Amino acid sequence: RIKMKNKILKYSILAAIIILSIVQVGCTKELQMVSDSTYMLGTYLQLSVWTTNKQEGMDTIKSSFERIKEIENKMSTNLDESEIGQINLNAGKTYVEVSEETVDIIERAIHYAELTNGAFDPAIGKLVKLWGIGTENERIPTQDEIQNALQFVDYQKIEFQGDNKVKLSEADMRIDLGGIAKGYAADEVTKIMKNKGIKHAIINLGGNVVTLGKKADGTSWKVGIQDPFEPTGTHMGVIEVYDQTVVTSGNYERYFMADDKRYHHIIDPKTGYPAENGIISATIITNSSTDADGLSTSIYVLGVEKGMQLIESLENVECIIITEDKKVYTSTGLTERFQIIDSSFQIEN
């Protein structure tokens, strides 16, 4: 009997050693970066994940791109067959049944419209189309055209019925989620990566950046803030973050020049013209990329004073605002994590 007990003990110790060594091999397997990029949502997208299993990393990136395509097919203003396209085509006529997530994002956009007193307005579509900035139809509209379009920019005239039916109350109204849906896509990709067990990743959807976890070496990520006066990739400062998103709205990527004046794609719903209040870049740092996207566009339109007031009133939301005279305004929670690396920029606050 004692012999038998000893045997069992021996085998269990042996089993334990084998299990332990398997676990150890698993742990010491090196993390490697898997990265891929593509063009969607009218911009360059790059996803990088750190994984011990290259194939799994590649599959995760593939699923992420498929998910972004799905969101684009539902929420693009440019596609007549998208859910937003259908709402726009049926403006002033009928309710259109759309998916729950499309309703959610329209409602999130309306939340920011209410919070900013209409500086952010998802019903901006007619004006965006009129200016055509970033398309081959870009031009300065006439005063009459602008006055006419302004009548149809009003988020309060987006109507809902039941859980998922949406209608625009006037035939000339158009929804445009370009100021918020990229952030939503970034949040959805983050969710996919977390579900697949990824612990370290950088999601970059054309400047909408999400950092998942910390870097593989346990330190924070350093995200560069674009210098609005220099070519893409030149940074004026660096922000340290982990498990957060960094989203910038600027005047330096989608614009055209006419008579020495820059006409960019963030439109002030009060004037019908590109927002002009001194801001040339507004960056939001927070947890949700949907919120950061909505807020960065909002702050750009609101201007420094009202914008900063709004950010300081929100919990866990920080911002960096750059004005055309190279002044930099940062929210109070940011001081230690943000560093200017180009001394021609001056901290103002």
Where does residue 27 rank: exposed (0-12), middle (13-18), buried (19+ CB within 10 A)? Answer: exposed
Least CB distance from residue 340 to ligand FAD, whole Å? 22
Residue with tokens 């395509």: 69
- Give the tokens for residue 275: 């927002």
Please identify, using beta-carbon distances, which residue of 249 and 331 lies nearer to Mg ion: 249
Q: Which is nearer to ligand FAD, 128 or 173 (CB)?
A: 128
Sign of CA dihedral 182, 183, 188, 194: positive
Residue nearest to Mg ion (CB): 297
Is the Cβ of residue 59 or residue 70 nearer to ligand FAD in the bound state?
A: 70
**CB distance 120 to 298 below 8 Å:** yes
179 near Mg ion, judged by CB under 5 A: yes
Contact predicate 252/228, CB 8 Å: yes
**Does residue 293 bind Mg ion (CB under 5 A)?**
yes
Kindly tell me which residue out of 190, 251, 289, 297 binds Mg ion, with binding defined by CB under 5 A. Answer: 297
From 40-48, 91-99, 236-244, 290-298, give the range in contact with Mg ion by CB under 5 A. 290-298
Which runs of E-coded beta strand occur in the chain? Answer: 32-40, 43-51, 96-97, 158-161, 165-168, 200-205, 208-212, 221-226, 235-241, 245-250, 255-258, 261-264, 279-286, 318-323, 327-330, 338-340, 346-347
The upper half-sphere exposure of residue 230, i.e. CA atoms within 13 Å in the direction of its Cβ, equals 12
| Residue 153 partner contact from Mg ion, ligand FAD, none using kind-dependent CB cut-offs of 5 to 8 Å | none
Q: Work out how close the CB of 181 gets to ligand FAD at its nearest, in angstroms, rounded to a whole number.
A: 3
Helices and strands, counts by H and E, the chain: 9, 17
Q: Which is nearer to Mg ion, 126 or 265 (CB)?
A: 265
> Crossing angle of helices 54-75/181-195, nearest 10°?
150
Nearest residue to ligand FAD, scored by beta-carbon proximity: 42
Binding-site partner at residue 41 among ligand FAD, Mg ion, none, CB < 5 to 8 Å by type: ligand FAD
77 binds Mg ion (CB under 5 A): no
Q: Which is nearer to ligand FAD, 82 or 331 (CB)?
A: 82
Contact 207, 300 (CB under 8 A): no
For position 289 contacting Mg ion by CB under 5 A, the verdict is no
Question: Using CB under 6 A as the criterion, which residues of the chain lie in contact with ligand FAD when the complex forms?
Answer: 41-42, 72, 75-76, 78, 120-122, 124, 128, 134, 176-179, 181-182, 207, 249, 253-254, 265-267, 269, 293, 296-297, 301
Among 251, 296, 323, 330, binds Mg ion (CB under 5 A): 296
Binding site for Mg ion (CB under 5 A): 179, 293, 296-297
